[in-house]
């Protein structure tokens, strides 16, 4: 077991979630300390995305406890959870076709002080600045992913939920996203990351949780990664 500090930024306890009749999460337990990058690993269908969506309040049927800085969120709707200081970047990126790039970037409102300025985001992702007038979905996959991450950095949320930000992207873009995550970490952002690609995850993560059948089956630190590799292959089936 890892050491526990008194007050994690995000504490998930016995989280259960359902989509209609299907019971997806069977008692998730997870903690994220302020300033950490924590990665959820697991096979497809293990419940990683559902965990993020349950924290964000997007899955309507959920029980258990999700606390941000001690504040209980389990009964709140997603707009209230966003206002508490969490931002979500979905796997499908969620770029709006009826909005241009600029409108997409400025869509999430600033909910708290401390977000990045637009000019800082343009520094991180210069491609976006050049295409502000384009339709959001006309961007390349990589640019869309940068836009999807960039727009939630403005909101002032200090906890970011990133769902497979590297999926389907070219290595050079994956590198750029890795650098961005490291920069965010150095700025004190806290990140809960879902990844299939643990080689990428190992470049940014402090700790890992492995999920299977809707709960956590293993947790370890990045320094333990090498020792856990064999077990990891077994869990992920790679």
Partner 1 sequence: MFEIFGIPSQALFGQLLIGLINGSFYALLSLGLAVIFGMLNIINFTHGAQYMLGAFAAYLLLQLTGLGYWPALVIAPILVGLSGIVIERTMLQWLYKLDHLYGLLLTFGIALILEGVFRNYYGSSGQPYQLPPSLSGGQNLGFMFLPNYRAWVVVTSLVVCFGTWFVIEKTRLGANLRAATENPTLVRAFGINVPRMITLTYGFGVGLAALAGVMAAPIYNVSPQMGSDIIIVVFAVVVIGGMGSILGAILTGFGLGVIEGLTKVFFPEASNTVIFVIMAVVLLIRPAGLFGRTA
Instruction: Give the shortest CB-196-to-partner 1 separation in angstroms.
Output: 22
CA distance 212 to 162: 19
Work out the angle at residue 88's Cα, subtended by the Cα atoms of residues 84 and 94, and round it to the nearest 5 degrees: 135
Binding site for partner 1 (CB under 8 A): 56-58, 77-79, 81-83, 87-88, 90, 94, 96-99, 103, 106-109, 111, 152, 155
Q: Which is nearer to partner 1, 12 or 101 (CB)?
A: 101
Report in angstroms the alpha-carbon separations of 180 from 146, 173, 207, 236.
Answer: 9, 11, 18, 26
The answer to whether 196 and 165 have CB atoms below 8 angstroms apart is no
Instruction: Give the shortest CB-9-to-partner 1 separation in angstroms.
Output: 18
Torsions phi, psi of 199, nearest 5? -65, -40
Instruction: Give the shortest CB-99-to-partner 1 separation in angstroms.
Output: 5
Q: Which is nearer to partner 1, 105 or 146 (CB)?
A: 105
Instruction: Give the shortest CB-87-to-partner 1 separation in angstroms.
Output: 8
Q: Which is nearer to partner 1, 155 or 176 (CB)?
A: 155
Residue 209 backbone zone (phi > 0: left; psi -120 to 50: alpha; other: beta): beta
| DSSP state letters, 4-29 | --S--SEEEEEEEEEETTEEEEEEEE
Instruction: Give the shortest CB-95-to-partner 1 separation in angstroms.
Output: 10
- Residue position matching structure tokens 């008692």: 27
Instruction: Give the shortest CB-79-to-partner 1 separation in angstroms.
Output: 5
Q: Which is nearer to partner 1, 22 or 223 (CB)?
A: 22
Q: Which is nearer to partner 1, 75 or 106 (CB)?
A: 106
* Structure token pair of residue 80: 């209230």
Q: Which is nearer to partner 1, 152 or 232 (CB)?
A: 152
CA distance 52 to 61: 14
């Amino acid at each position: 077991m890892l050491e526990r500090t008194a007050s994690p930024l995000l504490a998930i306890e016995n989280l259960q979630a359902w989509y209609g009749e299907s019971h997806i999460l069977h008692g998730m337990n997870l903690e994220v300390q302020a300033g950490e990058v924590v990665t959820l690993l697991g096979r497809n269908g293990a419940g990683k995305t559902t965990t993020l969506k349950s924290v964000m309040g997007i899955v309507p049927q959920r029980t258990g406890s999700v606390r941000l800085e001690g504040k209980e969120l389990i009964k709140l709707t997603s707009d209230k959870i966003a206002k508490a200081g969490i931002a979500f970047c979905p796997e499908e990126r969620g770029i709006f076709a009826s909005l241009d790039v600029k409108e997409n970037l400025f869509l999430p409102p600033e909910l708290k002080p401390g977000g990045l300025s637009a000019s800082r985001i343009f520094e991180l992702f210069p491609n976006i600045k050049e295409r502000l007038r384009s339709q959001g979905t006309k961007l390349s996959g990589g640019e869309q992913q940068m836009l999807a991450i960039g727009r939630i950095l403005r909101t002032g949320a200090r906890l970011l939920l990133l769902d497979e930000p590297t999926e389907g992207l070219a290595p050079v873009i994956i590198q750029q996203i890795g650098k961005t995550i490291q920069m965010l970490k150095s700025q004190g952002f806290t990140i809960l990351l879902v990844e299939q690609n643990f080689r990428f995850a190992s470049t940014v993560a402090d700790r890992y949780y492995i999920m299977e059948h809707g709960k956590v089956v293993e947790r370890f630190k990045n320094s333990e990664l090498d020792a856990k590799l064999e077990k990891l292959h077994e869990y992920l089936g790679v």
